[in-house]
């Protein structure tokens, strides 16, 4: 089976999982179905649950991609530290990751500096796309 999933599709999936949604890629057509976990309208929630139940019944025909685990997110944050030329900023972020609530502490430090924040957003976007791309490749390989 071919893994030719468009870069734009990978980018869209990366955005969706970054905000906590679940995506299903139909393996032959490459059509993506997103389950939006932020919906609050009970009718829409019921409709989404119905769609998800249908997809799960035929899950062998799909690649299911969910949000990254806390560990995967932490690894991406640690990779980001290696990108930074400023040792004092690296140290500050490293300390943030080694305290209680590491993600919140990390984000607090990053958000305190506009340039650092933009650099983090770009880096995170690229890393999420790389993660999704690898996940899809692995799914095709082992499916």
Structural domain span for residue 125: 70-130
Tell me what pLDDT residue 142 has.
73
Q: What is the pTM of this model?
A: 0.86
Instruction: Return d(Cα 73, Cα 61) in angstroms, integer.
Output: 27
Per-residue exposure over 91-110, b if at least 16 CB sit within 10 Å of its own CB, e if not? ebbeebbeeeebeebbeebb
**Domain boundary residue among 67, 87, 108?**
67
**Domain boundary residue among 67, 82, 101?**
67
84 and 57 in a common domain: no
48 and 18 in a common domain: yes
Give the number of domains in the chain.
2
Tell me what pLDDT residue 143 has.
59
Q: Which helix (DSSP H) or strand (DSSP E) does residue 42 occupy?
A: helix 42-57
94 and 43 in a common domain: no
Taking only the tens place, the pLDDT of each residue in 49-88 is 999 999 999 989 999 999 999 999 999 999 999 999 999 9
């Amino acid at each position: 089976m071919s893994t030719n999933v468009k870069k734009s599709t990978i980018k869209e999936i990366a955005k969706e999982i970054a905000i906590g949604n679940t995506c299903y890629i139909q393996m032959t057509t490459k059509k993506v179905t997103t389950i939006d976990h932020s919906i609050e309208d009970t009718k829409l929630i019921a409709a989404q649950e119905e769609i998800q139940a249908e997809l799960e019944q035929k899950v062998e025909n799909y690649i299911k991609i969910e949000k990254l685990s806390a560990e995967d997110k932490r690894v991406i944050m640690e990779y980001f530290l290696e990108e930074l030329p400023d040792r004092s900023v690296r140290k500050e972020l490293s300390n943030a990751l080694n305290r209680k609530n590491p993600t919140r502490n990390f984000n607090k430090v990053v958000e305190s500096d506009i340039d650092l924040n933009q650099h983090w957003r770009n880096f995170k976007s690229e890393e999420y796309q790389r993660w999704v791309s690898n996940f899809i490749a692995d799914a095709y390989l082992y499916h």
